[in-house]
Amino acid sequence: MLNENVKDHGKKTKNNAEDPQNREINSNSLEISCTTAPPAPPAPPALKLFSNLPNKRSLNNVGNNNPFKPKDENVLFTESGTVESEDWEISEQIKNYLGEGGFSTISKAIKEVLKKEDIKPLNPIGVTMKGIIEEMKKADEKYRQYEYNDEDITDNPIAWTNPDNGKIYIGINSPEYSHLNNRGESELNLAKIISTIIHEGLHASSHQHKGLQPQTNKEEGNLDYDEYVTDYFAREVYNKILPGKDYVTNYFTKGLGGKNKMWGGNIVEFMIQSKHSSLEEIRQAYAEGKPFNELDGKLLEDWKTYAKLGKIPDLPNQN
């Protein structure tokens, strides 16, 4: 934030200046004497113009009324590697990170967050990134145009949940599941692995395994309701299982130049704080298929501005 420091160096007034007309010259002594003008009357008090204007907005462009308060604590953006991850077993890594019964622990937390009992046990399937694309093509014709990117392997899907049957596929060789340790060596990123499995577990447990996909237009930037709401609930599940640990994700909005800007899960907080929808209404829409209240009007524009520029909007006051 910028600090505006105003320095008062002092000013000379006209009354403190010397007036040439008051100077008298004595030709005999060549001495100069001065007469002093009477003091000027005090200036009238300044008029208070525009006294009803609102207070100046703060430097972060937030008004002093009801600013949106993002809640992205314990959310960490994942920087993808550039080489394929080493082979690893899903069940083994779950056990390493969560102990015995790790899948049951995740399922229990999902049930609590979604308030939903009819959730199938988690059983993610480990495949390659190519294997994910093959499964996608078999499931729906809209994926037929997908091709594996050999030149940039970071462009390939790292996980996918089949919306027809809820089966979860994890691309175990994705570079996103590895990172460099303190010695500069590549090693598995267990936090990213667990975060992804939880995220996909939410997809599988959502209404008809589709969640908010029917309400989501993938062509509209920074408005991926299904993925953003999934990530919000996934962070809640992660915090139940691993309180205080960072949930690792790449579901961030895109700012200028396509750079990652804000955590997409904050769209839920935005809808709640603006009184557009309650958390319970969002949960029911996502988990049970109840009506979903999409953003519109000024709230939609405020969200898009925040998502792209990071400008915190003022929210309407609603009691």
Structural domain of 113: 66-315
Classify residue 47: in a domain, yes or no: no
Classify residue 291: in a domain, yes or no: yes
Q: What is the DSSP string of 228-294?
A: HHHHHHHHHHHHHHSTTSPEEE--EEE-GGG-EEEETTHHHHHHHHTTSS-HHHHHHHHHH------
* pLDDT at residue 40 in the model: 60
Residue 92: which of 197, 221, 212 has the closest Cα? 197
Classify residue 24: in a domain, yes or no: no
The mean-pLDDT minimum among 70-74, 281-285, 303-307 falls in: 70-74
* pLDDT at residue 317 in the model: 74
Classify residue 20: in a domain, yes or no: no
The pTM score is: 0.79
Classify residue 282: in a domain, yes or no: yes
Residue pLDDT, tens place only, 225-279: 999 999 999 999 999 999 999 999 999 999 999 999 999 999 999 999 999 999 9
**% the chain with pLDDT above 90:** 71
The length of the chain, given as a count of residues? 319
* pLDDT at residue 37 in the model: 52
> Which amino acid would we find at residue 159?
A
Residue pLDDT, tens place only, 23-78: 443 334 334 344 445 566 665 555 444 334 333 333 344 444 899 999 999 999 98
- The overall average pLDDT reported for the chain is 85
Domain count within the chain: 1
Q: Summarize the confidence of residues 116-123 as an average pLDDT.
A: 94
Classify residue 2: in a domain, yes or no: no
Distance CA 312, CA 213 (A): 27
Classify residue 250: in a domain, yes or no: yes
* pLDDT at residue 319 in the model: 57
Classify residue 202: in a domain, yes or no: yes
